[in-house]
Amino acid sequence: MGMELIQVCQCLCDRTRLRILNLLLQGPLCVCHLQSVLGEPQVKISKHLRYLKARGLVEVRKEANWRIYRLPARRSMELEVNLRCLQDCAGEDAGLRRETAKLKKLRSQMAADACCPKKESKTRTLAACLC
C-alpha cells in the first residue's frame, strides 16, 4: 500500500473525518447511517468520504443504490498505528463516545428499522446495509 505518514495525518486533521473514521472502526456503514449518527448533511459526509477514499483510508463497495464504506482490509503501519491511537483517544472524548453509543443503539434496532429508502419508495432494512 505504501501510505505515507503525512497522508494519514492530513486525513486526521479534520474533526468530521475523525468522527467518520471513529465510527468505521465499529464496522462498515453506508452514508445514511453516518449521516444519522453524525447529524451532518449527506453532502458533507460524502465529501469527506471521497477525500478519505482518494487517500486510501476507506474502501467502498456499491450495493444496489447504496455505497457501503469500511476501513481498508489491508492497512499500512502508519494507518494502523493512528487508528489505534484514535480508538484510544475516542474513549476520552465525550462527543466521540456519544456517537459510538448512538451507532450501537442504531445497530441494535437493525431488524425493526428501515433505512436507505430506494427512489421507488421501497425500503431496506438496516441489517441489510450493515455487514
- Residue 124 β-bridge partners: 115
Residue type at 30? C
Tally the domains of the chain: 1
Q: Given this model, what pLDDT does residue 79 score? A: 83
Least reliable range by pLDDT among 27-41, 52-66, 105-119 = 105-119
Pairing of strands 59-63, 124-125: unpaired
Residue 57 near residue 24 (C-beta atoms within 8 A): no
Amino acid at site 63: E
CATH code at 51? 1.10.10.10
Among 21-35, 75-89, 99-113, name the most confident range. 21-35
Print the domain residue range for 76.
5-129
Give 116's pLDDT tier (boundaries 50, 70, 90). low
Dihedral sign, Cα of residue 3, residue 73, residue 35, residue 49:
positive
Confidence bin at 58 (pLDDT 50/70/90): very high
User: Which secondary-structure segment (H or E) carries 90?
Assistant: helix 77-90
Please tell me the pTM assigned to this model: 0.79
> Which of 31-35, 40-44, 61-65 has the weakest average pLDDT?
61-65
Burial 90-101 (b: 16+ CB within 10 A, else e): beeeeebeebbe
Q: List the one residue out of 37, 34, 110 whose CA is nearest residue 70.
A: 34
Q: Which residue has the cell 499500512?
A: 76
